[in-house]
Amino acid sequence: MTTSVPAIEFFEGVSEQISNVSLRLNRSSGVRTVLMTFTELNSIQRFKSFTSKFNGALRLLDEEGEITIEPDSVKFVFGGPEGDDFERMDCQFEVNREDHWERFMRFMNRYAAVNGMDYGDRS
53-94 per-position pLDDT tens digit:
556 789 999 999 999 999 999 898 999 899 888 899 999 999
Exposed, middle or buried by CB within 10 Å (0-12, 13-18, 19+), for 29? Answer: exposed
For the domain made up of 7-115, the CATH class stated in words is mainly beta
Alpha helices for the chain (secondary structure H) = 44-48, 98-115
Beta bridge partners of 78: 86
pLDDT band at 51 (very low <50, low <70, confident <90, very high): very low
CB 101 within 8 A of CB 32: yes
Distance of CA 70 to the CA centre of its chain: 10
DSSP 35-58: EEEES--TTHHHHH-TTS---S-E
Mean pLDDT of 14-27: 93
What pLDDT digit, counting tens, does each position of 109-122 carry? 999 999 988 876 66
* Domain residue limits, the chain: 7-115
* pLDDT for res 114: 94
**Does position 24 have pLDDT exceeding 70, yes or no?**
yes
CB 20 within 8 A of CB 77: no
- CA atoms within a 13 Å half-sphere pointing along the CA-CB vector of 34: 17
